[in-house]
Amino acid sequence: MYTDGLSMDTKSKKILTAFKKQGARVETKARVKLKEKKDFSLWYTPGVAVASRYLAEHPEEARKLSVKKNSVAVVSDGSAVLGLGNIGPYGALPVMEGKALIFKEKAGVDAWPIVLSTQEPEEIVQVVKAIAPAFGGINLEDIAAPKCFDIEERLIEALDIPVMHDDQHGTAIVVLAGLTNAAKVVKKTLKELKIVISGAGAAGTGTAKLLIAAGVRDIVMLDRTGTLYAGRENLNENKAELAKLTNPRKVKGGLDEAMVGADVFIGLSGKGLLSAGHVRSMAPRAIVFAMANPEPEIFPDVAKKAGAVVVATGRSDFPNQINNSLVFPGVFRGALDRGVRQITEAAKLRAARALAALVARPAADKIIPDMLDPRVVKAVAGAIR
Amino acid sequence: MYTDGLSMDTKSKKILTAFKKQGARVETKARVKLKEKKDFSLWYTPGVAVASRYLAEHPEEARKLSVKKNSVAVVSDGSAVLGLGNIGPYGALPVMEGKALIFKEKAGVDAWPIVLSTQEPEEIVQVVKAIAPAFGGINLEDIAAPKCFDIEERLIEALDIPVMHDDQHGTAIVVLAGLTNAAKVVKKTLKELKIVISGAGAAGTGTAKLLIAAGVRDIVMLDRTGTLYAGRENLNENKAELAKLTNPRKVKGGLDEAMVGADVFIGLSGKGLLSAGHVRSMAPRAIVFAMANPEPEIFPDVAKKAGAVVVATGRSDFPNQINNSLVFPGVFRGALDRGVRQITEAAKLRAARALAALVARPAADKIIPDMLDPRVVKAVAGAIR
């Protein structure tokens, strides 16, 4: 399954060995020296009392003279990790630590992984509120739908620092950026696209809402039961809302029915879900974003052979990596730099546009800037204001 | 008041300017490189899924292949900060950040400051339990007595990582170390010392208990009301316990009464509390540890003029700095390196002994190793097993 031809087992063993050998992938670093007595007198006792007294009286200044200036908590309860599902805090930890690593390397943001031993929404809200004072932003991550919506909403309301559930909004921004360029490649407009979104969880929901805000009119969403449509039974609050916002043609059934004639497939669901037959049933010049991680809904070679013109995944080892890593470092860089308290819909649209615009000449294998492109963070950060 | 002769105001302004110019004093740092696509494939997606799957199945391995290996949360609710009192999370933040700085510079521990927007004991316990999975240790700090005792006890019981309220135990260890050498200087034994401890909060309680464990027999403790003795009215649970453990001569009254004939004064209370008259009323060859921060109970020159032979404070700008910074980095270094889950009484006694032993020839102005002494962390860490 992997591009270098190694079997999953051999590859996995090599990776695990690397992680074991490495230990931690992020650490802390002193930004002042502690070499002489006077360094301790200034930065610890008695000097630190001056800063403490000052911040006790001017808490809003914490953003200027403490770690709060540049820090983000990457918070997960491990209830919906990558494509792996509910694997708990320890399962989530490597991902959160990886994000902290990317935050630093890409955007100079001091992010620290926080994984929670609770999965109760009420408690998650309470814990994040409790630890918020030392952080300049909260990146919620891999928290299952539908609880993630309420958790994010309540934290945005309660806190005076930016809170973003990256699965929803990071995904939405990068998908919209990729889709903007993919549409150019196949010479279709966003407004005329018939889009199927497989997965009505956090990522699917965030993506559908942002695409609609960008002008998309025809989205059919699917959960495990089938398409979402107004009046379907057993819809939770979030899906009932999505059912109203999407599916204007009232498509019923499963993926087989939804894919017929579709211009775009956006997979935010699970591995191997999409078959070559599904792709063959799509409209001409089809676009396939198979973003399940770590294993996509369909592998690029299969999708292309079945007729898809533009194919993207979430992975670094294929072309067109539609990955949140293109977004979250810049979003928080911009928010921290400008003291932005809320990541608005308008800012997300601007960020997607800025990201898309970095690809001067979109092509089938180049719809999104590369993760290594040094312009990415600046472009996204510039949109957050 | 300050040794360089500057007034408090001028000095404070200079310090505040330095903190403002500096911003954060700690940051994060990548321990792996993210330069090429293959770095992302390994350390983020898809590679990270292998580590996630593995830790989901083997959570106990998080200590080997994640930040948990070397990380400590420095947690405070800001309810009892330095000598400043209840100044809340933002007031506490510079101190916690300073500790994180010292943790890294002295012991290579990756500590991150966590200040809480709640001061409810129940909630503090819940929050620390919730965030514990990504940390290898919990340093509780500047949490007011008496709630700090119950909070620490419950967390030690609930978590499988070391939890230490540094105000209690860090202070106790460093005081015992200093006192061991001070006693040598004045040629008295620990067992025969009459000791007054001013302050029956976290530090006073931890110190009294460890001194007793070390063989001290005659301690008189004072809170704001006066000496603690069995049967005194209005004693909370903690003070009632202390009253039983201490004051064998049933001394009643205030500091005036307690200080008469005392060999040692240990100040863990508030600035300016001890007068020259108090020191003059002590036994010959008196020892004064005036450790209130940032301003001691009595300044060293005044205490010495009044007859004290050994004088120590908590500050870096006087000789004999009896400061927790000599202890906490080594305690957690040792605990992390050896996977120690609980800092036992025996380990604390060993740590104090190891610290004292670093001073080959104790003298009036040299009872405790210097903060800059590179042997300190190793000696303390070696005691934690």
Which structure tokens are listed for A317? 């080892």
Q: Does A92 touch chain B (CB under 8 A)?
A: yes
- What is the DSSP track for A348-373? HHHHHHHHHHT-SS-BTTBSS--TT-
Quick: pLDDT tens for B107-152.
999 999 999 999 999 999 999 999 999 999 999 999 999 999 999 9
- Predicted pLDDT at A25: 98
**A-B Cβ pairs (cutoff 8 Å, strict):** 362
Query: How close does chain A come to B208, measured CA to CA in Å?
Result: 23
* pLDDT at position B193 over 80: yes
Task: Say if the Cβ atoms of B28 and A28 lie within 8 Å.
Answer: yes
- Predicted pLDDT at A3: 44
Which structure tokens are listed for A222? 């699917």
Q: Does B158 touch chain A (CB under 8 A)?
A: no
* pLDDT at position B248 over 50: yes
With contact defined as beta carbons under 8 Å apart, do B255 and B274 qualify? yes
Task: Say if the Cβ atoms of A116 and B127 lie within 8 Å.
Answer: no
Confidence tier at B7 by pLDDT (50, 70, 90)? low
Q: What is the mean pLDDT of residues A162-169?
A: 98
Q: What is the DSSP letter of A162?
A: -
* pLDDT at position A376 over 50: yes
Give chain B positions within 8 Å (CB) of A111: 28
- Predicted pLDDT at B183: 98
Query: How close does chain A come to B34, measured CA to CA in Å?
Result: 7
Q: Which of A14-28, A305-319, B347-361 has the lowest mean pLDDT?
A: A305-319
Per the confidence metrics, is the pTM higher than 0.90?
yes
Q: What is the mean pLDDT of residues A131-135?
A: 98
Name the average pLDDT for chain A: 95
* pLDDT at position B298 over 60: yes
Residues in chain A: 385
- Predicted pLDDT at A4: 47
Residues whose CB falls within 8 Å of the CB of residue A268, separated by 6 or more in sequence, listed in order: A171, A197, A198, A199, A201, A203, A204, A207, A291, A292
Q: Which of A91-105, A260-274, B117-131 has the lowest mean pLDDT?
A: A260-274
- Predicted pLDDT at A317: 82
Confidence tier at B259 by pLDDT (50, 70, 90)? very high
| Enzyme catalytic residues of A | 44, 99
Q: Does A20 touch chain B (CB under 8 A)?
A: yes
* pLDDT at position A74 over 60: yes
- Predicted pLDDT at B47: 92
Quick: pLDDT tens for B58-109.
999 999 999 999 999 999 999 999 878 999 999 999 999 999 999 999 999 9
Whose tokens are 């993207």? That residue is A312
Confidence tier at B3 by pLDDT (50, 70, 90)? very low
Which structure tokens are listed for B279? 């020191």
- Predicted pLDDT at B6: 54
Q: Does A230 touch chain B (CB under 8 A)?
A: no
Q: Are strands A163-165 and A137-140 parallel, antiparallel or unpaired?
A: parallel
- Predicted pLDDT at A315: 83
From the list A198, A62, A42, A48, the residue with the least C-alpha distance to A134 is A62
Q: Does A37 touch chain B (CB under 8 A)?
A: yes
Q: Which whole-number Å values give the CA distances from A206 to A142, A199, A299, A328, B345, in the listed order? A: 13, 11, 24, 14, 53
Task: Say if the Cβ atoms of A46 and B113 lie within 8 Å.
Answer: no
Q: Does B54 touch chain A (CB under 8 A)?
A: yes
* pLDDT at position B293 over 90: no
Q: Which whole-number Å values give the CA distances from A348 to A163, B157, B371, B374, in the listed order? A: 13, 45, 50, 51
Q: What is the mean pLDDT of residues A260-270?
A: 95
- Predicted pLDDT at B1: 39
As a whole number of angstroms, the distance between CA A212 and CA A210 comes to: 5
Q: What is the mean pLDDT of residues B283-303?
A: 94
Measured distance between the N- and C-terminal CA atoms of chain A, rounded to whole angstroms: 42
Q: Give the 3-state secondary structure of residue A82.
A: coil
As a whole number of angstroms, the distance between CA B273 and CA A93 comes to: 49
* Interface test mutation site (partner B, options A63, A87, A101, A271, max chain B beta carbons within 10 A): A101
Task: Say if the Cβ atoms of B15 and A47 lie within 8 Å.
Answer: yes
